[in-house]
């Protein structure tokens, strides 16, 4: 068995390192042991890992995270645990719980980190309500300090949320680096991003952009909204609904002080270039804590538009959330055991680890609080995010569909609707599998469960396609009416609403509206998954792009210039108004 000591030179203990000299080994009876550590109490658990409060041979408290026995021999699980050890070993900050020890070769691999005897931010807000201005500023400063230290080490945390923030005497400590991203890791770049927590993922990451520091600053701002309001920043519900609100910037600011709302609204702008920087947000929070005007601290790009009433209108933009629901910072619920036995009080407070006793003015720490973010270092990769978008193929597909609308409108519409249902069904199945593995780890039953749920995903896709088609239909009809009126005025001969150019343009606009409108994220993810599977290598993609463009242009040319007859199958004739109607518009 090989034990690795992380975080400093072996002869230079880090702050709070249980290797510090000071005191003889104390006699501790065997209870449950993992390596040299005696397990006292379970603090939290994830799909494949468990976090324990443990004591070392000198009776000092540490947090020990171990893989579950049934995955302890899984090479991927061990690699993910090793990645977390390597990540934490590079970060130097009081706001990040450091690694003291690790044994990655043991029968049950584990890592040992500083024990933080404080509640998570979501538990604190649940019990005490939203933070006051001074506490909010303290939280923002501490988390900003942690993120800067992390980013200076070339790491992106990617899962900053209330459940991964522990509070010690009001100061935050960031935990759970299980899905942290190393900017130099080619393997992570190829496999894609691990699914984070809906509502705390930035819009650009949801859309498949590269992982970078702005991802964490988005989570930082979303966490501040939760701390200021006690409510999830983008409401609750299914993952698809929450991610759609994130992409629209539909932030729920209900309960946020009206003086602070414009600042947080600007910090969660879907357009990354329009968000205020961290320093600007901190300056505004300092003014807010002093009772001064906050808006004046914002850059011009982030201020409300003149004449708008951002402080009163913003809460109305928020998603309506059931009032009885409790805040939840993590999609994977954490179960906690009863209070530890009396000897657990031997555990030290994290702020003074060298003494391993509470400072005189502080009471001894009570039973350990929530560690909801820990034990989740093994969450599954979402195979869709950060993969090629295949924009060229999709643009060519729009050209082909426009040509189809010009010569066979109803048949093309049926193909579009059927394709939308298939894409959303595939997306629903993949999302369900990812979230299941996120919560419980990879299981042999995953394929069987996905197959059993397929009918439900199909019904959900049909329902989503129906209501999501309302806006595209309105846009298409409006384009047909406006285009028809314009064409009637400029045409040298009588024309009608079933003119090929009108149908092609209206159909293309309707498709683009469906792509970017309500329900669009699931359509985009599912369609891109299909396109990536079908097109494959680059020569195939090039051939598909050329073929789709040629087909679209040929159909349009045949319908418009050659006068090829249109088909309105399954109808006998066009249901649109005749040419005599257009001049009267």
Reference 429, options 388, 458, 465; nearest CA is 458
Whole-angstrom distance, CA of residue 559 vs CA of residue 502 = 11
Query: What is the token pair recorded at 84?
Result: 């977390």
Strand ranges, E, within 35-78: 37-45, 49-55, 61-67
Residue 516 burial (CB count, 10 A)? 13
The contacts of residue 197 (CB under 8 Å, 6+ apart) are: 159, 161, 163, 329, 330, 331
The contacts of residue 309 (CB under 8 Å, 6+ apart) are: none
Cα distance from N-terminal residue to C-terminal residue, the chain: 84
Reference 398, options 548, 538, 525, 560; nearest CA is 548
Summary count for the chain: helices (H), strands (E): 17, 10
The 8 Å CB, 24+ separation contacts for 323-328 are: 325/236, 326/126, 327/122, 327/125, 327/126, 327/162, 327/226, 327/230, 327/231, 327/232, 328/122, 328/163, 328/232, 328/236
Tell me if 554 sits within 8 A of 403, measured CB to CB.
yes
Whole-angstrom distance, CA of residue 412 vs CA of residue 500 = 13
Residue 279 designated active-site? no
453 annotated as a binding-site residue? no
Query: Which candidate in 101, 159, 257, 498 is catalytic?
Result: 159
- CA distances 200 to 156, 203, 225, 345, Å, are 14, 9, 11, 35
Whole-angstrom distance, CA of residue 87 vs CA of residue 154 = 9
Whole-angstrom distance, CA of residue 158 vs CA of residue 156 = 6
- Residue 528, CB half-sphere, CA atoms under 13 Å: how many? 20
DSSP code, position 4:
B
The contacts of residue 53 (CB under 8 Å, 6+ apart) are: 39, 40, 41, 42, 43, 61, 62, 63, 64, 115, 340, 344, 347, 368
The contacts of residue 119 (CB under 8 Å, 6+ apart) are: 127, 166, 167, 369, 370
Reference 453, options 423, 478, 431, 469; nearest CA is 431
Residue 324 burial (CB count, 10 A)? 5
Q: Supply the residues annotated as catalytic.
A: 159
Q: Residues at the annotated binding site?
A: 65
Binding-site residues for ATP: 65
């Amino acid at each position: 068995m090989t034990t690795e000591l992380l975080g400093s030179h072996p002869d230079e203990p880090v702050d709070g390192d249980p290797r510090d000299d000071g005191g003889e080994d104390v006699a501790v009876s065997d209870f449950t042991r993992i390596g040299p550590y005696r397990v006292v109490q379970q603090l939290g658990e994830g799909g494949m890992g468990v976090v324990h409060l443990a004591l070392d041979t000198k009776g000092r408290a540490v947090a020990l995270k171990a893989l579950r026995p049934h995955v302890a021999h899984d090479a991927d699980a061990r690699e993910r645990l090793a990645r977390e050890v390597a990540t934490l070993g590079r970060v130097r900050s009081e706001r990040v719980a450091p690694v003291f020890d690790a044994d990655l070769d043991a029968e049950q691999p584990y890592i040992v980190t500083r024990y933080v005897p404080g509640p998570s931010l979501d538990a604190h807000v649940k019990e005490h309500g939203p933070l006051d201005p001074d506490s909010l500023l303290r939280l923002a400063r501490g988390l900003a300090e942690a993120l800067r230290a992390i980013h200076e080490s070339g790491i992106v945390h990617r899962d900053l949320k209330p459940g991964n923030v522990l509070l010690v005497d009001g100061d935050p400590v960031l935990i759970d680096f299980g899905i942290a991203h190393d900017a130099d890791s080619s393997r992570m770049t190829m496999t894609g991003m691990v699914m984070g927590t809906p509502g705390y993922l930035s819009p650009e990451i949801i859309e498949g952009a590269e992982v970078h520091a702005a991802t964490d600053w988005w989570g930082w701002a979303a966490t501040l909204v939760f701390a200021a309001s006690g409510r999830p920043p983008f409401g609750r519900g299914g993952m698809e609904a929450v991610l759609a609100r994130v992409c629209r910037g539909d932030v729920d600011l209900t309960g946020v002080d009206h003086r602070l709302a414009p600042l947080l609204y600007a910090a969660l702008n879907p357009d990354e270039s329009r968000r205020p920087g961290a320093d600007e947000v901190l300056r505004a929070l300092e003014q807010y804590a002093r009772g001064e005007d906050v808006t004046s601290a914002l850059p011009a790009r982030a201020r409300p538009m003149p004449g708008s009433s951002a402080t009163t209108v913003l809460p109305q933009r928020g998603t309506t959330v059931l009032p009885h629901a409790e805040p939840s910072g993590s999609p994977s619920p954490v179960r906690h055991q009863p209070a530890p036995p009396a000897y657990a009080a031997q555990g030290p407070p994290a702020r003074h680890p060298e003494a391993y006793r509470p400072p005189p003015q502080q009471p001894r720490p009570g039973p350990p609080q929530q560690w909801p973010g820990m034990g989740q270092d093994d969450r599954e990769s979402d195979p869709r995010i950060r993969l090629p978008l295949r924009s060229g193929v999709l643009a060519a597909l729009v050209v082909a569909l426009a040509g189809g609308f010009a010569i066979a409108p109803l048949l093309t519409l049926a193909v579009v609707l059927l394709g939308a249902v298939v894409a959303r069904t595939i997306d629903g199945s993949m999302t369900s599998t990812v979230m299941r593995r996120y919560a419980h780890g990879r299981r042999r039953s995953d394929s069987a469960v996905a197959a059993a749920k397929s009918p439900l995903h199909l019904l959900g896709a049909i329902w989503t396609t129906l209501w999501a088609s309302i806006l595209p239909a309105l846009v298409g009809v409006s384009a047909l009416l406006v285009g028809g009126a314009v064409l009637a005025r400029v045409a040298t001969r009588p024309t009608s609403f079933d003119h090929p150019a009108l149908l092609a343009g209206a159909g293309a606009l309707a498709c683009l509206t469906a792509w970017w409108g309500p329900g669009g994220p699931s359509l985009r993810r599912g369609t891109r998954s299909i396109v990536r599977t079908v097109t494959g290598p680059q020569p195939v993609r090039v051939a598909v792009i050329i073929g789709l463009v040629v087909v679209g242009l040929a159909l349009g040319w045949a319908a418009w210039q050659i006068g090829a007859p249109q088909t309105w199958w399954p109808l006998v004739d066009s249901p649109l108004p005749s040419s005599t109607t257009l001049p009267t518009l």
